[in-house]
């Protein structure tokens, strides 16, 4: 199935969850913000949020500091 991930079209297996995508990208930032189709996904929902054909997924890493 095709999704748009951080602005790039990618193919992922059917029934891919946000957790699967995080593991696939080796993202380890605990402050990661995830949006699917411009909707914020709570970290507790990553494992039960299944992606669908054509979804747009954004991983946002907040920049903290001064």
The pLDDT of 24-36, averaged and rounded, is 87
Domains of the chain, start order:
2-60 (3.10.20.30)
Cα–Cα distance for residue pair 54/50, rounded to 1 Å: 12
Per-residue pLDDT for 30 more than 80?
Answer: no
Strand-by-strand arrangement of the 56-60 sheet: 8-11, 2-5, 56-60, 33-36, 39-41
Write down the pTM of the prediction.
0.88
Q: How does pLDDT run across 37-52, given as a tens digit for each residue?
A: 999 999 999 999 999 9
Please report, rounded to a whole number, the percentage of residues in the chain having pLDDT higher than 90. Answer: 79
Phi-psi map region of 16: left, alpha, beta (phi>0 left; psi -120 to 50 alpha): beta
Residue matched to tokens 């930032």: 29
pLDDT of residue 29: 73
């Amino acid at each position: 199935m095709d999704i748009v991930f951080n602005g790039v079209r990618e193919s992922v297996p059917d029934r891919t969850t946000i957790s699967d995508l995080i593991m696939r990208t080796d993202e380890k930032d605990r402050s990661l913000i995830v949006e699917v189709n411009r909707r914020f996904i709570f970290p507790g929902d990553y494992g039960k949020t299944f992606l669908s054909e054509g979804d747009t997924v954004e991983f946002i890493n907040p920049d903290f500091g001064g």
